[in-house]
Each structure stands twice: as C-alpha cells, then as structure tokens.
Amino acid sequence: MKKTLIYVIGAVFLLSAIAFAADKPTANAPKADPGKVIPARTAKMNATGKVIEITNTSIKIERTVKNNVETMTFILDKPVGNIAVNDAVKIAYVEKNGNLVASRIAKIVPKQSGKK
C-alpha cells in the first residue's frame, strides 16, 4: 500500500510538472507590427540549357524537361560578354512581375576525359 501511494504521488508530480512547462507562454515573443509589411522571399530557381539567342537585355535558352523541349526567355540586368549562341549555360533566376530575371549565368564547360 505504501509503495502504491509513492508511485501515485510521483506520477502526479511528474504530470503536473509537464503540464506547467507546456503552459508557459514565451516572454520575448516577437510581435508583428501592423504598419510594417515583411515582403515574401522570392524563390531562386535554376535552368540549364543551350543558348539560342542572346542580346544585351535578354537571353533565350532551349532546355529539355522530360523529353519535352522548352524555350525560356530571361531578362538580363547587365550584358554578358563571354556567352555565345550554342553555348551550354546554367542560369540562376527569380520571377519578378511575371518576368524571369537572370541573376547569374555560368557557362557549362564539358569535362575532359582522363585518358592520355
């Protein structure tokens, strides 16, 4: 009987400690300022393909996705000098106002075989 009473008191103590720990609100919770709007983060995406057209303000690539050929046009912030037509490129871009804006363009260099 004494042993059972000790187990019951221990269980009550343990469960009450858990209950009190779960009910504590955070004291330093950041409060949203109704006048300040936090802009949503734009997702950075990547596209890899072959350049079919390039100008000072835009670049158009052709890429294959699941055996479907797709053409994508990107807006350039600044002209790219080392990219030419038929080069394989990887473009990091974001979507702004319905347009695809290229943030980084890298030429893909084919790997050399290790045979001598």
Number of domains comprising the chain = 1
Q: What is the CATH number of the domain that holds 85?
A: 2.40.50.140
Domain membership flag for residue 80: yes
The rounded mean pLDDT for the chain is 84
Domain membership flag for residue 71: yes
Nearest to 100 by CA among 69, 65, 60: 60
Q: Domain of 59?
A: 45-107
Domain membership flag for residue 4: no
Q: Is the pTM of this model over 0.85?
A: no
Return the pLDDT at 50: 95
Which of 32-41, 63-72, 81-90 has the weakest average pLDDT?
32-41
Domain membership flag for residue 32: no
Return the pLDDT at 31: 63
User: What mean pLDDT do residues 59-87 have?
Assistant: 91
Domain membership flag for residue 87: yes
Domain membership flag for residue 34: no
Domain membership flag for residue 8: no
Domain membership flag for residue 66: yes
